[in-house]
Amino acid sequence: MNFSPLFFTFDNKNIYASTNVDRDKSVIVEYDLSKNKELKILAKNPDVDVSGLHYSKKRKVLLTATYYTWKLERDFFDDQIKKIFSDLESKLPGIEVNLVSYNKNEDIYIVRTSSDKDLGAFFLYNIKTKKLVKLANVNPWINPKYMANMKPIQYKSRDGLTINGYLTLPVGKKTKDISVVVNPHGGPWARDNWGFDPEVQFLANRGYAVLQVNYRGSVGYGREFWKASFKQWGQKMQDDITDGVKWLIDQKIADPKKVAIYGGSYGGYAVLAGLTFTPDVYACGVDYVGVSNLFTFMKTIPPYWKPYLETMYEMVGNPEKDVELLKKASPVFHVDNIKVPLFVAQGAKDPRVNINESNQIVDALKKRGINVQYLVKDNEGHGFQNEENRFDFYEKMENFLNKCVGDKSKK
């Protein structure tokens, strides 16, 4: 259960908080600390957690509550701020608008825009004159005309859960029976959001549809959806991703012979799990700093994770009490099932997913006589940060995917 104080009420008697105590989805409440009692619910949503609450320092009133469905949404408590957003959205149609700063008088705002096709811009907005002036583009070299739309999708898992995600289709290409890259997010207790994703745009630009799945355990969809992931690595969590592939095939979007899977961290684990536990689903995989062995992963977690080790045991599995569970869920013990090309990328100094995780899977494949492509960067940690290494990785991934699932026919 979660109870997160946000700020005091304006009379300093109570607090506002985001909480899922005695409920599934987090809501915004007013809470009496002296009586240890919830007074009233200010904002809620039947499908997702509500966690953000915003107020005016000058006027001492609540403004909005915020939450993510397929994109950022707001409940308004104040007519003035509602009119401001209405005016901004009419001036900047089809993009996400956020107020990121303001002056002491709260009549001049800095506005930040963004979308799935553009990292947006900063504007100066005067609420009295309603004048909007662009200050700067965030990435002026990106032309939204060439970027692809990220569309929300939804399907049912095989055991009846509602799974949300995003599908990005390449611009100017056919949209039926095409090559797909499934891109599970890391975490795993995180989520994909609508917005500009450079990796997704990179893959879509190369002609691939990109599927992002907020599988069970992804945050923001309530406590029960999160808890449904406990001790389900490689099992029901993986089934949610596999069911997303089946949905794409049923929709006749994906060519079933040209589905690749690429992910980092937990997403890298999902790549290895996909190739070992569902070997007939994918044509190839790209594992980027992913976990291969849950026993060694638990033993080599960094010191700053140690306070959460018991929590990890509850959520993933205890290497002493859940031996069969972890062995079943560790791809390295099922490497004989891998029958398609695999590309592994790893930072030698990774503190979170030790290089031994990648070494194990690569060595096991080589012992079987399989030539797995392996890229190690000695000066990198958990994900490549140096520009030259990122260029090298994405160039190699592009070439790898092109050989496996690239569509060389003219459209």
Name the residues annotated as catalytic. Answer: 265, 350, 382
**C-alpha dihedral sign at 315, 317, 320, 321:** positive
Closest by CA position to 290, among listed 264, 312, 309: 264
Quick count: other Cβ atoms within 10 Å of Cβ 293? 24
Distance, CA of 54 to CA of 89 (rounded, Å): 19
C-beta separation of 359 from 389 below 8 A? no
Q: Which distant-in-sequence residues (6+ apart) come within 8 Å of 276 by Cβ?
A: 331, 334, 335, 337, 338
Distance, CA of 62 to CA of 60 (rounded, Å): 7
Amino acid identity at 16:
Y
What DSSP assignment string belongs to 334-402?
GGGG--S-EEEEEETT-SSS-HHHHHHHHHHHHHTT---EEEEETT-BSB--SHHHHHHHHHHHHHHHH
Look up tokens 């259960």; give the residue. 1
C-beta separation of 15 from 8 below 8 A? yes
Q: Which distant-in-sequence residues (6+ apart) come within 8 Å of 130 by Cβ?
A: 87
User: How do strand 3-8 and strand 15-19 relate by DSSP bridges?
Assistant: antiparallel
Cα Rg, the chain, nearest whole Å: 23
SS3 assignment, position 123: strand
Closest by CA position to 358, among listed 341, 371, 340, 376: 376
Strand partners, 126: 108, 131
Tokens of 56: 């005016």
Distance, CA of 164 to CA of 171 (rounded, Å): 23
